[in-house]
Structures are given as structure tokens and as C-alpha cells.
Amino acid sequence: MKSLQDALYNWLTIYVVAEARPDDIAAQETVAFFREILKHDFNITKVEVKKEDMYIVAYERDGEQKSARFPMELIEVMLRQIEEAPEKYRNYPS
């Protein structure tokens, strides 16, 4: 990932899917993969999500508390696509 903003966006997008689909193995593995990118590439040690009028990602980087905001409609696009065509996004057992 080139930027922290992109990494947070990618992680949050799949995080929302993984939270909505806890049995979706691919979503769980992908959210863990992007969390590792946040940790190793950007030194993010803590991350929390709040859903208000926007998604707010609060995180700790190098001992400093920071946050980023993302529009709900942008973050929930993937989840909406999955919900609208579930036959295209089946959960395959490992």
C-alpha cells in the first residue's frame, strides 16, 4: 500500500464485510491480512471503528492517537454488492 489512507480504506471495507458475515472465511482471512499491513507497514498498534454519520477509524500510530473518517456509502459498497447477489459470494469451507 502506498498510503495509510488507502490501507485504512481497504481494511475498513473488508472489516465491515467480515463483521456482517462472521462465517465468511475469505472475509475473515482478508481482514486479518489487511490488519497485518496496518501493523507492519504503518506501525498501527490499535484500531477501533465507530459508525456515526461516517465511519470513524481511531488508531494509534507510534504512540499517537489519530483518526480518519470515511463516508458510509463508500465503505459499504462491497457489502451491498454481496447482499444483492449472495449467489456470487458463497462461503466455501476450508
pLDDT in tens, the chain (94 residues): 589 999 999 999 999 999 999 999 999 999 999 999 999 999 999 999 999 999 999 999 999 999 999 999 999 999 999 899 988 888 766 5
H or E stretch including 15?
helix 4-20
Distance CA 85, CA 19 (A): 18
Q: Quick check: pTM over 0.75?
A: yes
Of 40, 60, 47, whose CA–CA distance to 12 is shortest?
47
Q: Where are the domains of the chain?
A: 2-86
